[in-house]
């Protein structure tokens, strides 16, 4: 069953962050990422929620503990500690 890693954090500059996020795609994929959703808080555009879908829990945990992640977040201008949580997909319905 797929696992989603939810990462919530604030960024100083969205465009700067986005460049590093896109560069870091290969790392996500190396751990089994199937894709992501990028959500921006409507009340605080500097706060984002990224939902990364992984093939399994082991890949999701490996991504979250990858040593390149803190460095990438620092380069991207993430301000403050990120909130990282794991979820199992119970259902997904497209309308």
The pLDDT assigned to 59 comes to 97
pLDDT tens digits for 60-95? 999 999 999 999 999 999 999 999 999 999 998 999
Q: Determine phi and psi for 91, rounding to 5 degrees.
A: -165, 145
Any domain includes 82: yes
Any domain includes 95: no
pLDDT tens digits for 20-45? 999 999 999 999 999 999 999 999 99
Task: Please tell me what DSSP assigns to residue 67.
Answer: T
Structural domain boundaries, residue 53:
3-88
Any domain includes 93: no
The pLDDT assigned to 9 comes to 97
Give the C-alpha separation, 86 to 88, whole Å: 7
Are 92 and 1 in contact, with CB atoms under 8 Å apart? Answer: no
Give the C-alpha separation, 14 to 49, whole Å: 12
The pLDDT assigned to 4 comes to 97
How many domains, in total, are found in the chain? 1
pLDDT band at 1; cut points 50, 70, 90? confident
Tell me the CATH number at 82.
Answer: 3.30.70.100
Any domain includes 24: yes
């Amino acid at each position: 069953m797929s696992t989603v890693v939810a990462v919530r954090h604030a960024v100083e500059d969205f465009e700067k962050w986005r460049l590093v996020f896109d560069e870091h795609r290969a790392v996500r994929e190396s751990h089994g990422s199937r894709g992501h959703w990028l959500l921006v808080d409507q009340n605080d555009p500097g706060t984002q929620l990224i939902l990364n879908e992984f093939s399994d829990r082991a890949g999701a945990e490996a991504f979250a503990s990858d040593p390149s992640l803190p460095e990438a977040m620092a380069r991207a201008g993430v301000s403050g500690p990120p909130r990282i949580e794991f979820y199992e997909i119970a259902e997904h319905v497209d309308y």
